[in-house]
A and B are shown apart, each in its own frame.
Chain A
Amino acid sequence: MYFHPDSQIIKLQEHARDLRLDSIEMIHRRQAGHPGGSLSAADIVAALFFHKMRIDPQNPAWPERDRFILSKGHASALLYAALAQCGYFPHEDLRRWGELDCHLQGHPDRLKTPGVDMTAGLLGHGVAVGVGIALAARMDGLSFRTYVLMGDGECQGGIVWEGAMVAAKYRLANLTAIVDFNNVQLDGAVHDILPLEPLADKWRACNWAVIEINGHDMRQILQALDTADEIHDRPTVIIARTTKGKGVSFMENKSHWHGVAPNDAQLAQAIAEIKGAGHHG
Chain B
Amino acid sequence: MAEISMREGYGKALAAYGAANPNVIVLDVDTSASTLTHFFAKQYPERFYNIGIAEPCMIDVAVGLALSGKIPFANGFSALLALRALEQIRTCVAYARTNVKIAASYAGVSDFKDGPTHHSIMDIAIMRAMPEMTVIVPADANEAGAWVPVIAEYDGPVYLRISRAATLPVHDPTVTVQIGKGITLRDGGDVTIIAAGSMVGRSLLAADQLAARGLDARVLEIHTIKPIDAPLILQAAAETGAIVTAEEHTILGGLGGAVAEVLSLHHPVPLEMIGVHDTFTRTAPTTELLMDAFCMGVEDITAAAERVIQRKR
Residues of A within 8 A of B (CB): 30, 32-33, 73-74, 98-100, 102, 104-107, 109, 119-124, 153-154, 156-158, 185-187, 192-194, 255, 259
Contact = CB atoms under 8 A, between A and B. Distances in A.
B53 A99 contact: no
B153 to A, nearest CB: 29
A158 B56 contact: yes
A193 B114 CA distance: 23
Interface of B: 28, 30-34, 38, 50-54, 56-57, 77, 79-80, 84, 113-118, 282-285, 289-290, 293
A97 to B, nearest CB: 8
A120 to B, nearest CB: 7
B117 A156 contact: no
A105 B283 contact: yes
A98 B117 contact: no
B52 A122 contact: no
B53 A100 contact: no
Contact of B116 (A109, A192, A194): A109
A27 B80 CA distance: 25
A99 B285 contact: yes
A137 B284 CA distance: 36
Interface majority SS (helix, strand, loop, mixed), chain A:
loop
Contacts of A158: 54, 56-57
B113 A185 contact: no
Contact of B53 (A30, A102, A119, A157): A157
Given A99-B285, A105-B282, A187-B30, 14 more contacts: A74-B114, A98-B285, A100-B282, A105-B283, A106-B115, A106-B118, A106-B283, A109-B116, A119-B117, A121-B118, A122-B77, A122-B80, A123-B53, A153-B53
Nearest to B116: A105
A32 B113 contact: yes
Contact of A30 (B33, B54, B113): B113
Given A105-B283, A156-B53, A194-B52, A100 B293 contact: yes
Contacts of A105: 115-116, 282-283
B113 A106 contact: yes
12 contacts: A98-B113, A98-B284, A99-B284, A100-B283, A100-B289, A105-B115, A107-B117, A122-B77, A153-B53, A157-B53, A187-B30, A187-B33
A63 B202 CA distance: 49
A100 B28 contact: no
A185 B56 CA distance: 19
A156 B33 contact: no
A106 B114 contact: yes
B49 to A, nearest CB: 10
B285 A120 contact: no
B53 A109 contact: no
Nearest to B33: A187
A156 B31 CA distance: 13
Contacts of A33: 113
Nearest to A156: B52
B295 to A, nearest CB: 14
A109 B115 CA distance: 10
Nearest to B52: A194
